Amino acid sequence: MAKKSKSFSSAAPAAKKGAGQPVDIGIAESDRKVIADGLNNLLADTFALYLKTHAFHWNVTGPMFQTLHLMFETQYNELWLATDLIAERIRSLGHEADASLSSFLKRSSIPEADGTPEATDMIRELVKGHEAAARTARSIFPRAEKGSDESTVDLLTQRLQIHEKTAWMLRSLLA
Ligand SMILES: [Fe+2]
């Protein structure tokens, strides 16, 4: 009984250390590291844009209230789901999601809103935010392609399509 218990306990830590098993998915560690770092920047942009969009959903006022309140809801829900996809891609590459408010502030290329803007300024800010996120996503492509990281290329393509399309839709409100 005691022997069995000992043998079980000696096996358990090894199983727990399974997270330390080397990643061998055919992408060099040097490439995985740079791609994961880029994805952490995209995660920060996505979270910052998510938070800004949700805050605008809450605080928007004026004659466009109904349209913007609902449009922002669709957008923040999409951004929230995207943070999970990006973070889990980083984990699949063997790196950690750098997910704290201080890390997001440091990494994000999207500045926080200065108070509560007027409705059309909210739209302008979100256009800029989606454009910034698109630029961040685009900057990761060269390394992902060099490392034959098709999964990240696919994710980045999806994120680019969303950011470019959302920026267009928001821009169209201002025409
Ligand atoms: Fe709501």
Residue 86 confidence (pLDDT): 98
Residue 114: CB partners within 8 Å, gap ≥ 6?
none
Domain ranges of the chain: 28-173
The alpha carbon of 24 and the centre of ligand 1 are apart by a number of angstroms equal to: 43
Q: Residue 116 Cα, ligand 1 centroid: separation in angstroms?
A: 17
73 alpha carbon to ligand 1 midpoint, in Å? 7
This prediction's pTM: 0.89
Confidence bin at 19 (pLDDT 50/70/90): low
Span from the CA of 140 to the centroid of ligand 1 (angstroms): 33
Q: Ligand 1 centroid to 57 CA: how many Å?
A: 7
- Superfamily for the 28-173 domain: Ferritin, core subunit, four-helix bundle (1.20.1260.10)
pLDDT 10s digits, 81-138: 999 999 999 999 999 999 999 999 999 999 999 999 999 999 999 999 999 999 999 9
Residue where the block lists tokens 């980045």: 156
Distance CA 146, CA 170 (A): 34
